[in-house]
Amino acid sequence: MEKFKDQSTLHLFEKGLITENQFEEVKTYRSLKIFSLNAELKLFLYLSVLLFTSGIGILIYENIDTIGHIAILSLLLIVIAVCFFYCFKHSKGFQKSETTFEHPVLEYLVLTGNILTCIFIGYLQFQYKPFGEHYGLATLVPTIVSFFCAYYFDNRSVLTIAITGLAAYVGLSVTPQDIFNDSNNLYASQSLSYSAVMLGVLLVLWTIYSQRISLKAHFGLVFLTFALHIVSIATISNLTGYETLTWILFALILAGSTYYFYKASYQYKAMSLYVFMIVYAYIGGNIVLFRIFENVDFSDIWELLIFLLPAYFIGSIIMFIKLIKNFHKEIAE
Amino acid sequence: MIVYNKQLLDNEVLTDEADALYKGGFISKEQKKFIEKELPVLKSQKNILVRIGFFLLGCLLFGSICGAISLFGLSAENTFFKICFYIFAVVGFAGVELLANQEYHNHGLDDAFILNALLCLGAAIGITTEGYEMVIAFFVAVGALFIFLRYLHVISMLVFCLSATAFLFFGMFEFGDIGKAILPFTAMIFAGVFYFLTKKMLNRLNERYYYNGLLLANSFCLVLFYLSCNYLVVRELSAELLGPEVKPGIDIPFAYFFYAFTFIVPVLYLVQALKTKDRLMLWISFLAIGFSIYTIRFYHSVLPIEVALTLGGIVLFGIAYFSIRILKEKESGLTFKPDRINHSDSLLNAEALVVASTFGMKPEVKPQASPMEFGGGGFSGGGSDGSF
């Protein structure tokens, strides 16, 4: 591979597209023969956090009656305290802009500490019921802790935990595997769909607000991603409902959210938002089209429809290619 | 043989290089834009999401075309069924050629047509030969190789590798029980020979058009080599093919060889990868080590799962921590500093997603039904156990 890389730099130089200085710079850099294990080692750290906290979680779950409760709680508390002690010691304090730790390990310590805190509170609630029957509160407290950690230490992974916690408080499960399997059963419960839409709107409003006061503006994309998926899935699963008024209402909501996220993805230059926005809009649009024609009797001309189908898809493909091209052009500037 | 304009393919490489240099901070944004304007390229999609989207759309288009064609054949049911997949395969290949002439390459649309064409080819041969696997594998392999050589389609190289391996396996089955018994060794030798063969071809390569495909084949041989004599694979496959012969107390023949193989090969890969600075091999060695641990835990429950997870986490943390400490200050060679040119942190971007799916909180189900849902349900992480 190396020889081809060097070759293409040379070609660029020969074509006069890069200057001699730049060419020399690249050449000296390549001669260092850097083989970076940055991503790999970080992934290891990350895996170790996942393994460790999963292990602890199961350990507590399985032995919940055998080991002394106080022993478990105090052990957890000590580990949490150690994690957060190091994090606070090395953190630069709260900052409105993006910050990173000097040492990459600390970022993962924050994650460990946070997950363990959540386990701790869950265990506490299960055993001693400090929140009584207010189960919502038992979700809300870890959520608040996670939001605090996410904002204080500037940690994206913790932020996603916090958002799932917030959604859980509303009554939604937004972990990726649940939201796509529709384990929330949005189709059956309309009120949950309304709360999903409300949650989405709330997330969007918060993003706009923090953008305005420039508070951790780089978190915006995370919030918007959650909002897009929550709102779109909630509306699409309600498009097939029986009542005409309901599905028209949700179609309008979907149209509105599509418009907003169209604008937002240009603003954030985020391809992932843009693509999913289009996909949801396309699915929703097709369902709406189907609903409009569902009462028309096509039984005489269904062959014609099948012949039209390829043309329809070709048309959609051309449209998508145009949309994507436009987007590339816009964000390049 | 290559259908694309070679000038455009070369340009593609150069713009990729320019992009890498821009990301590494060697050239300015204006310069990169100028280079992109100067060098016209093929229509391709770099973003994997967009590519998947176009792939799905392409599949819909292909399906709808096939549906329209089927309308003609409805009257002649049985004869049509016998030949319909040949027609679909022809549609697929024609579509690929058309797209290639329109300069689509790695776009998603061409992926859809290529993979569907190969699938239909396999189905067509399967119907004609009434499911004779070896012949199906042979024709799919030939088709995939043709596509790779003509359209430089790397995914079809993977299809080729898989179907060639399938061809070998089904060929060995023809020899009856003896063939099945020596299958691991045959596969191992096959993988080893082809590894060195592709390696040699890679080193001799003067033009880079086929580079990625050959690299894929090369890595595939590494994976096949490891899997061919992995203890778990051998034992389960022999139980599947030769009947349940492994009784308690008795092990499979050559068990010590397979155990040793399961452990030595990943370590060999790791050492070799670090020595030759081969990132692909490094990743294969990580996966192989993980699978070796899984192999052991599959047959011998050394530790209860929760203790194993916790200890594994601590050990892994220690390894990573000390490696970072050692490598942190190094400026050249093996280092912890991110490489300016070859980024490989796209994986790290998926981090938050994994956290959300493993540790995301779920709403408690109605309290009266199960008051203990919270701590247990939300954080047990039970769903993730299998993959470790």
Residue-wise pLDDT for B39-81, tens only, equals 888 888 888 888 999 999 999 999 999 988 888 877 777 778 8
The span from the CA of B20 to the CA of B13, in Å, is 11
Chain B contact present for A181, CB below 8 A: no
Q: Which residue of A has its CA nearest to B388?
A: A51
Check residue B353 and give its pLDDT.
67
Check residue B234 and give its pLDDT.
87
Residue A222: list chain B partners with CB under 8 A. Answer: 352
Check residue A280 and give its pLDDT.
93
Task: For tokens 């050990």, name the residue.
Answer: B315
Report percent pLDDT > 70 for chain B. Answer: 86
For the record, the structure tokens of B277 come out as 């600075």
Q: Name the residue type at position B237.
A: L
The span from the CA of B334 to the CA of B323, in Å, is 11
Residue A59: list chain B partners with CB under 8 A. Answer: 306-307, 310
More confident position, B367 or A161: A161
Q: Give pLDDT tens digits along chain A (333 positions).
A: 566 777 788 878 887 777 878 888 888 887 877 787 888 888 888 888 888 888 888 887 777 667 677 777 888 889 899 988 988 888 877 887 777 777 778 888 888 898 888 888 888 877 777 777 777 777 888 899 999 988 888 888 889 889 988 888 887 777 766 766 666 666 667 788 888 899 999 999 999 999 888 888 888 888 998 999 989 988 888 888 778 888 888 999 999 999 999 999 988 888 888 999 999 999 999 999 888 888 777 777 777 888 888 899 999 999 999 999 898 888 877
Inspect the interface and report whether the beta carbons of A306 and B358 lie closer than 8 Å: no
B33: left (phi over 0), alpha (psi -120 to 50) or beta: alpha
Whether B101 shows a pLDDT value over 80: the answer reads yes
Q: Which residue of B has its CA nearest to A30?
A: B341
Check residue A33 and give its pLDDT.
78
The span from the CA of B67 to the CA of B61, in Å, is 10
Written as one string, the DSSP assignment of A53-80 is HHHHHHHHHHTTTTS-HHHHHHHHHHHH
Sign of CA dihedral B361, B363, B369, B374: positive
Closest to A271 (Cβ–Cβ): which among B34, B50, B282?
B50
Let me know: does B65 contact A308? Beta carbons within 8 Å: no
Check residue B205 and give its pLDDT.
83
Residue B376 is assigned to a structural domain of this protein: yes
Closest to B334 (Cβ–Cβ): which among A37, A39, A157?
A37
ipTM of the complex: 0.84
Inspect the interface and report whether the beta carbons of B68 and A174 lie closer than 8 Å: no
Check residue B161 and give its pLDDT.
95
Range of the domain at B367: 354-388
Most A CBs within 10 Å, among B55, B328, B348, B374, to test the A interface: B374
Residue B41 is assigned to a structural domain of this protein: no
Our count of domains for chain B comes to 1
Residue A126: list chain B partners with CB under 8 A. Answer: 372, 374-376
Radius of gyration over alpha carbons of chain B, in Å? 25
Q: Which residue of A has its CA nearest to B339?
A: A36
Q: Name the residue type at position A314.
A: I
pLDDT class of B344 with cuts at 50, 70, 90: low
Check residue B384 and give its pLDDT.
32
Residue B360 is assigned to a structural domain of this protein: yes
Residue B240: count other Cβ atoms within 10 Å of its Cβ: 10
Residue B38: list chain A partners with CB under 8 A. Answer: 15, 17
Q: Which of A279, A278, A196 is nearest to A235 (CA)?
A: A196
Chain A contact present for B74, CB below 8 A: no
The span from the CA of A64 to the CA of A13, in Å, is 67
Q: Which of B356, B388, B293, B295 is nearest to A51 (CA)?
A: B388
More confident position, B366 or B175: B175
What SS3 state is found at A36? strand
The span from the CA of B272 to the CA of B247, in Å, is 38
The span from the CA of A294 to the CA of A289, in Å, is 9
pLDDT class of B348 with cuts at 50, 70, 90: low
Residues 206-245 of B with CB under 8 A from A: 208, 211, 215
Residue B363 is assigned to a structural domain of this protein: yes
Residue B281: list chain A partners with CB under 8 A. Answer: none
Question: What backbone phi and psi angles, to 5 degrees, belong to A275?
Answer: -65, -50
What SS3 state is found at B381? coil
pLDDT class of B385 with cuts at 50, 70, 90: very low
Radius of gyration over alpha carbons of chain A, in Å? 26
Chain B contact present for A169, CB below 8 A: yes
Give B43's DSSP letter: B
Which ranges constitute the DSSP H helices of chain B?
6-23, 29-38, 48-73, 77-101, 109-128, 133-151, 154-173, 177-181, 183-204, 211-228, 231-242, 255-276, 279-299, 305-327, 346-349, 351-359, 373-379
More confident position, B292 or B330: B292
Closest to B379 (Cβ–Cβ): which among A105, A119, A163?
A119
The span from the CA of B53 to the CA of B59, in Å, is 10
Chain B contact present for A40, CB below 8 A: yes
The span from the CA of B350 to the CA of A207, in Å, is 21
Residue B18: list chain A partners with CB under 8 A. Answer: 12, 17-18
CB–CB contacts below 8 A, A to B: 312
Chain A contact present for B6, CB below 8 A: no
Q: Which of A128, A125, A148, A151 is nearest to A138 (CA)?
A: A125
Whether B388 shows a pLDDT value over 50: the answer reads no
Residues 70-99 of A with CB under 8 A from B: none
Inspect the interface and report whether the beta carbons of B381 and A43 lie closer than 8 Å: no
Let me know: does A176 contact B352? Beta carbons within 8 Å: no
Lowest mean pLDDT among A223-232, B9-18, B163-172: B9-18
pLDDT class of B383 with cuts at 50, 70, 90: very low
The span from the CA of A233 to the CA of A183, in Å, is 12
The span from the CA of A57 to the CA of A54, in Å, is 5
Check residue B270 and give its pLDDT.
93
Q: How far is B128 from chain A (nearest CA, A)?
A: 28
Check residue B159 and give its pLDDT.
95
Check residue A185 and give its pLDDT.
66
The span from the CA of A1 to the CA of A3, in Å, is 6
Q: Which of B269, B278, B153 is nearest to B210 (CA)?
A: B153
Whether B373 shows a pLDDT value over 50: the answer reads no
Check residue B156 and give its pLDDT.
93
Mean pLDDT of B334-359: 67
Closest to A51 (Cβ–Cβ): which among B38, B337, B388?
B388
